[in-house]
Structure 1
Amino acid sequence: MGGEASHSCQSCLFAIYTETGIRMSRAVDRRSLRTWIDLDRTALASNVLAFRCLLPPDCRLMAVCKSNAYGHGLYDLVPALQETGVDWFGVDSIVEAAALRERGIRNPILVLGYTLPSRFAEAAAHRISLTVSNLENLRALAATQSLRRLKIHLKFDTGMHRQGFLPSQWEAALRLVRKCGRRVKVEGIYTHFAAAKDPGCREYTELQIKEFERAVARFREAGLSAIRHANATAGVLNYPQAAYDLARVGVGLMGYWPSYETKRAWEQRIVLKPALVWRTIISEIKALGKGMGIGYDLTETLKRRSTIGVCPIGYWHGFPRSLSRVGEVLVRGRRAKVLGAVSMDMIVIDLSQVAGARVGDVVTVIGRDGRDEITVYEVAGRAGVSHYEFLTRLNPLIQKFITS
């Protein structure tokens, strides 16, 4: 594994992430980086196929890439997923959606989060569909005079009690939609399930499905026939009766189960392949004596003479401070424990059991090295966070490489 840093690597453009997109700089490969993330194109294609096989033939597939594509890099992952033939993309904000349009993504895009009324015209100009989930935004739409035709998806609160129109607001929403006239097209109607991740607890989700179908029936009765969607990753697996016209799949396409309960129920039936591997290097090695303290506040004291290594990643990169003294990484196929406190830009690891370790060796933070593997679930569990939270906190500045 130590030779990985020196073998021939593919070149790619170095991407500086900003809120509005990417500024291209010099061509780089892994040999010029201290840390990087590999995204496996083959794993992505396999995951897309796995979910395609679970959906009815007439149900379209939305790749949900919100929050920097769950840490995988919005502007890296979306083109790779586009190659697999997904039908839609879902993002959190108009900022993400407009940046994708500027980068040549032509698939339909739905903004799942809140959009300020001042950005409605921008959405219309870029052919971006917006979620509208409250009467205030519908009123703003109805009051806008110089708007190109805007496509919207009305979101209904069927029990999540977050975004969405409550049943008591349906009639007011219908009146406002009519008031918008032809300037607004209701392209979709949807909801989100609160408890679909545990297939053993079905009652609440089934109640939500019934409530959503009641909303669909009322709006169809009023003449609004639109794309219906409710299922996210867990719903596709656990509630096939709610497939409707479109499925919104996020972490599933990246190779992760939405919950332990869903994993246990499904892992013998389909294979999900994690697409993300995170690596760094050893930047310094030294031998220290028994009794020496490590790092800020000397939170760990060596119990024996030890060989320690420094890796140039820390909590700024997304390696949580809660992994201090408990985290592990892989070096040359062997586990190396994190010693002392995780710093902003560095961690110290115990190399005493890693024969031949040297400066420049590749360190696997997430992924496989030889026969061993450190998974996102393991790291997130040690850190005391969900795997969703761990992934989305990965620093977007970390360079991504698409591999096969």
Structure 2
Amino acid sequence: MNDTERNGLRTWIEVDRKAIRHNFGVFKSLIPKRTKLMAVVKSNAYGHSLIDFSKEMERFGADSLGVDSMMEALALRREGVTLPILVLGYTMPELFSEAAKNDISLTVSTFDTLRAIEKAKLSQSLRIHIKVDTGMHRQGFLAKDMPKIFGVLNAKRSTLNASVEGLFTHFANAKNPAFPKDTSDQLNEFKKWILAFKRTGHTPIVHAAATAGTILFPESHFDMVRVGIGLYGLWPAPEVREAFKDRITLRPALVWKSFITETKKLPVGSRIGYDLTEELRQDSAVGIVPIGYWHGYPRALSSIGHVIVRGKECKVLGRVSMDMLTVDVSKVVNPKLGDEVVIMGGDDSLPISAAGLARSLDESWYEIVTRLNPLIKRIYI
């Protein structure tokens, strides 16, 4: 990207449409034709741009979208996205009428929420997905709640003004194929709920599998799967990648870029950055990159991170600042203002990939991509 194409941008994120289409195709191939695919686009589409990514999913044929909040759901509706949307997180009662008016389905996981829906006396019927806790012990009704919930749903259909569109659960430990028992136990518990709903005359859309479940547990596909991290080309866990890398290929879609804004040559012994934490062991050329931890580059990568400049791996020197990095560009021939810098991206095996950065920090690549500042321009290519 040259100065004209940058159009004033000091940093930007490129998202590869072909990679997204490929990943979408991979997950469609893993599920039966009758099984729907919900694209999970919460948290700014895992850092890939909520609006842009959702429109790609609509174009590629996703059946619905999963978001965290009504704020995300309403943003999609304002941008003309017409796919069914399910809010997976908690929704405040004052937003129930907005959900009904905008054809947005809500998760219900407590009796408090059911009572709030009844109290709201909605003029339009609200579509709800009942979430049940089968072992993760986060959101959801417990098994002991089963008799009471059917009492509420069946006795108050006329006053509740809500229709049960879906029934779902979430797996706590589906990412390790070597230990399937926890997921099998959750599936068995969930099947009790499915049977109970059918016996009481409800026929909801049944869903349980996220990305890992979709890959590892075909028996969990039911009526719909909820695929998040995999659509962006990232594996849900290293164990899943090791087990399935010869059977399916995921292509990371995101590349984060910037450029060198200043260069200088410093003598051996020069100390770099805040608190002067790193001392040069030899005469070096350094470059300044106009991004920092405010943009989402982890401060924990101070003195250990790397970026790519003209194909050369360049070490981060000293502390990561709020808005700047200092990098060693000694390997680059005649480094100069405007040289493009790749901050993050590429195959999982690369040190600057989201997975590579996560490995350096012993943390999750989910965190790496979702903490990318939403104000950074995403460019779909």
1:122 and 2:122 are equivalent in the alignment: no
1:385 and 2:363 are equivalent in the alignment: yes
Structure 2 match to 1:136: 112
Instruction: Say which of 111, 126, 130 aligns to 1:154.
Output: 130
AA paired with 1:5?
Answer: N
Whether the 8 Å CA contact 1:142–1:176 is kept in 2: the answer is: no
Q: Which runs of 5+ in 2 are unaligned?
A: none
Structure 2 match to 1:365: 343
Alpha-carbon distance between aligned partners in 1 of 2:84 and 2:155, rounded to the nearest angstrom: 25
1:268 is paired with a residue whose SS is coil
1:302 and 2:299 are equivalent in the alignment: no
Whether the 8 Å CA contact 2:306–2:351 is kept in 1: the answer is: no
Identity among equivalent positions (%) equals 47
Structure 1 match to 2:60: 84
Whether the 8 Å CA contact 1:65–1:250 is kept in 2: the answer is: yes
Structure 2 match to 1:216: 194
1:177 and 2:147 are equivalent in the alignment: no
Alpha-carbon distance between aligned partners in 1 of 2:50 and 2:285, rounded to the nearest angstrom: 39
Q: Give the direction of change, closer, same or farther, for the CA distance of 1:238–1:67 in structure 2 (3 Å limit).
A: same
2:2 is paired with a residue whose SS is helix
User: Can you list the C-alpha shifts for 1:92-124, whole angstroms capped at 9, x where unaligned?
Assistant: 001100110111110100000000111111100
Alpha-carbon distance between aligned partners in 1 of 2:370 and 2:2, rounded to the nearest angstrom: 26
Q: Give the direction of change, closer, same or farther, for the CA distance of 1:345–1:392 in structure 2 (3 Å limit).
A: same
AA paired with 1:193?
Answer: F
RMSD: 1.5
Alpha-carbon distance between aligned partners in 1 of 2:335 and 2:34, rounded to the nearest angstrom: 54
AA paired with 2:2?
Answer: A
Alpha-carbon distance between aligned partners in 2 of 1:367 and 1:194, rounded to the nearest angstrom: 28
1:50 and 2:26 are equivalent in the alignment: yes
Between 1:249-258 and 1:178-187, the stretch displaced more is: 178-187
Structure 2 match to 1:290: 268
AA paired with 1:365?
Answer: I
1:267 and 2:264 are equivalent in the alignment: no
User: Can you list the C-alpha shifts for 1:293-352, whole angstroms capped at 9, x where unaligned?
Assistant: 100000101111110000000000000000000000000001000000000000000011
Whether the 8 Å CA contact 1:5–1:361 is kept in 2: the answer is: no
Instruction: Say which of 5, 21, 26 aligns to 2:2.
Output: 5
Instruction: Say which of 334, 346, 351 aligns to 2:312.
Output: 334
AA paired with 1:355?
Answer: V
Alpha-carbon distance between aligned partners in 1 of 2:164 and 2:79, rounded to the nearest angstrom: 26
Alpha-carbon distance between aligned partners in 2 of 1:281 and 1:401, rounded to the nearest angstrom: 16
Post-superposition, which runs of at least 4 consecutive aligned residues in structure 1 deviate over 4 A? Answer: none
1:218 is paired with a residue whose SS is helix
1:100 is paired with a residue whose SS is helix
Q: How many residues align?
A: 378
Shift of 1:373: 7.0
1:145 and 2:142 are equivalent in the alignment: no
Whether the 8 Å CA contact 2:351–2:357 is kept in 1: the answer is: no
How do 1:69-80 and structure 2 match up within 5 A? 69-80=45-56
Instruction: Say which of 236, 250, 263 aligns to 2:214.
Output: 236
User: Can you list the C-alpha shifts for 1:142-198, whole angstroms capped at 9, x where unaligned?
Assistant: 222233100000000000000000001112111222344151100000000000000
Q: Give the direction of change, closer, same or farther, for the CA distance of 1:342–1:99 in structure 2 (3 Å limit).
A: same
Alpha-carbon distance between aligned partners in 1 of 2:307 and 2:49, rounded to the nearest angstrom: 22
